[in-house]
């Protein structure tokens, strides 16, 4: 069986076949080539080598007079061969909407620190949704990473200029549900259990992402062992083929990173709820059948449920993930375990986002530390202090 997203299969003749995209035709359709091996590992290594050799053969104009637009076009062709479809769709959208309209007409020689700073300023102050609020610093940083990758791909020294650009990030805690909101939501979900309610309850208790929940099927839930296996994610992405009549489509792919493929223990109380609603259900958890529910629909269900709970209805679904993580840390869980449960690519992300306990927890910990020095009269040390 092929592993998700790798396109490696065992043939009937016993050999392993690994397929890779080597080009796209004028209509945007992928063209594949194959390599073979006597083992899966051998086929995978041959595939990686073939992709590397193919990308090395793509010509790049690295002269100072090279136009940024042409460099960006070649970068997109190169990138499409080695990233997930959803990732490429996001890159192309950012390039077409923000990067090319600003840098497209310039040559590599003309891109300077001043020009990049002007670009950053425009992003931070531009209109969005008819409001002059600009893009979030994190979004601007993500766009700059794309610009830097394009310049580096074109062997333009201008990418070094980006190292001088620093964007001030807001230091704020993740948005989590209040204690009262958590109680109301938890009570409502348990008293009105169905597929969607159970899914939301699962996210609140495990911190899985909305796309992971939408892609979750009953085969990924082991009720006997109480284990949840996260192997894929569902999302709606933009269609980059200009000849398509549709603008977006649903894709089910591997999660964000290799560490996002993980196993999560399910609380016993939640296992019992899942067992009660399963019956003969097959397919996706949220629907109980082979038809999926997309993230936007689930988010709307979540908003309606919040209104019925008489709690704030301006929370986002992702707040459940932040709430789980914050609760885990405040109850004494360690960052390494939390990082594995959340499927973060590194524990550093977990430390920066969630290891920021509340003032109340800090006070409790300080009091516990001070209590170590509060001796009873019989326990008082007998040694006398002698000055140095």
Q: In CATH, what number is assigned to the domain containing residue 340? A: 1.10.443.10
CA-based nearest residue to 229, from 266, 275, 267 = 266
The secondary element (H helix, E strand) that includes residue 77 is helix 68-80
pLDDT at 1 > cutoff 80: no
Percentage of the chain exceeding pLDDT 90? 35
- Does some domain include residue 281? yes
Q: Which of 80-94, 232-246, 336-350 has the lowest mean pLDDT?
A: 232-246
- Shared-domain flag, residues 197 and 333: yes
Report CA Rg, the chain.
Answer: 26
- Does some domain include residue 339? yes
pTM of whole model > 0.85?
A: no
- Does some domain include residue 174? no
Residue 42 Cα distances to 15, 35, 83, 259, angstroms? 10, 10, 21, 23
- Does some domain include residue 63? no
Number of domains observed in the structure of the chain:
3
pLDDT at 46 > cutoff 70: yes
- Does some domain include residue 135? yes
* C-alpha span between 380 and 266 (Å, rounded): 47
**Is-contact 353 338, C-beta < 8 A?**
no
- Shared-domain flag, residues 106 and 225: no
Range of the domain at 96: 68-164
- Does some domain include residue 208? yes
pLDDT at 112 > cutoff 70: yes
pLDDT of amino acid 171: 58
- Shared-domain flag, residues 77 and 148: yes
pLDDT at 78 > cutoff 60: yes
First to last CA, the chain: 73
pLDDT of amino acid 61: 54
pLDDT of amino acid 98: 93
pLDDT at 273 > cutoff 90: yes
Q: Would residue 134 be called left, alpha or beta, if left means φ above 0 and alpha means ψ between -120 and 50 degrees?
A: left
Q: Which of 65-79, 209-223, 358-372 has the lowest mean pLDDT?
A: 358-372
Boundary-marking domain end, from 164, 193, 221 = 164
pLDDT of amino acid 225: 94
- Find all residues with CB under 8 Å of 34, minimum gap 6, and list them: 17, 18, 19, 20
Burial class of residue 116, CB neighbours in 10 A (0-12, 13-18, 19+): buried
- Shared-domain flag, residues 114 and 47: no
Average pLDDT of span 166-178: 72
- Shared-domain flag, residues 141 and 214: no
pLDDT at 57 > cutoff 60: no
- Does some domain include residue 156? yes
Average pLDDT of span 205-216: 95
Average pLDDT of span 362-369: 72
- Does some domain include residue 25? yes
- Shared-domain flag, residues 46 and 134: no
* C-alpha span between 50 and 31 (Å, rounded): 14
- Find all residues with CB under 8 Å of 205, minimum gap 6, and list them: 266, 267, 270, 324
- Shared-domain flag, residues 221 and 341: yes
- Shared-domain flag, residues 115 and 193: no
Boundary-marking domain end, from 104, 131, 164 = 164
pLDDT at 271 > cutoff 70: yes
Mean pLDDT of the chain: 82
Percentage of the chain exceeding pLDDT 70? 77
Average pLDDT of span 315-340: 90
- Shared-domain flag, residues 154 and 200: no
- Shared-domain flag, residues 189 and 139: no
Average pLDDT of span 282-295: 93
- Shared-domain flag, residues 72 and 128: yes
- Shared-domain flag, residues 135 and 202: no
384 token code pair: 């006398």
pLDDT of amino acid 186: 92
């Amino acid at each position: 069986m092929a592993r998700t997203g790798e396109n490696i299969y065992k043939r009937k003749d016993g050999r392993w076949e690994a397929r890779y995209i080597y080009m796209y035709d004028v209509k945007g359709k992928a063209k594949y080539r194959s390599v073979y091996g006597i083992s899966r590992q051998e086929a995978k290594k041959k595939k990686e080598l073939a992709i590397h050799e193919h990308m090395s053969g793509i010509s790049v104009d690295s002269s100072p007079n090279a136009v940024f637009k042409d460099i960006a076009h070649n970068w997109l062709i190169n990138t499409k061969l080695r990233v997930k479809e959803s990732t490429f769709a996001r890159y192309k959208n950012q390039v077409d909407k923000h990067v090319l309209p600003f840098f497209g007409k310039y040559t590599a020689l003309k891109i300077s620190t001043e020009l990049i700073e002007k670009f950053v300023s425009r992003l931070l102050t531009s209109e969005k949704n008819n409001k002059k609020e600009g893009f979030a610093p994190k979004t601007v940083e993500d766009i700059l990473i794309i610009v830097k990758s394009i310049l580096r791909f074109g062997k333009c020294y201008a990418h070094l200029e980006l190292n001088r650009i620093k964007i001030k990030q807001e230091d704020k805690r993740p948005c989590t549900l209040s204690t009262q909101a958590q109680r109301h939501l938890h009570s409502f979900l348990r008293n009105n259990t169905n597929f969607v309610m159970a899914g939301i309850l699962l996210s609140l208790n495990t911190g899985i992402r909305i796309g992971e929940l939408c892609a979750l099927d009953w085969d990924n839930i082991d009720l006997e062992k109480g284990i949840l296996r996260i192997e894929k994610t569902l999302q709606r992405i933009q269609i980059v083929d200009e000849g398509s009549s549709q603008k977006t489509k649903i894709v089910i792919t591997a999660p964000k990173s290799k560490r996002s493929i993980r196993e999560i223990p399910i609380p016993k109380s939640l296992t019992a709820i899942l067992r009660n609603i399963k019956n003969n259900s097959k397919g996706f958890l949220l629907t109980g059948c082979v038809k999926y529910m997309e993230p936007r629909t689930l988010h709307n269900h979540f908003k309606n449920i919040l209104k019925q709970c008489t709690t704030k209805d301006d929370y986002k679904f992702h707040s459940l993930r932040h709430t789980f993580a914050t609760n885990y840390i405040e109850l004494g869980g360690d960052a390494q375990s939390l990082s594995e449960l959340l499927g973060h690519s590194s524990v550093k992300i977990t430390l920066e986002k969630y290891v920021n306990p509340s003032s109340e927890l800090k006070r409790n910990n300080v009091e516990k530390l001070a209590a170590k020095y509060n001796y009873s009269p019989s326990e008082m040390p007998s040694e006398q202090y002698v000055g140095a």
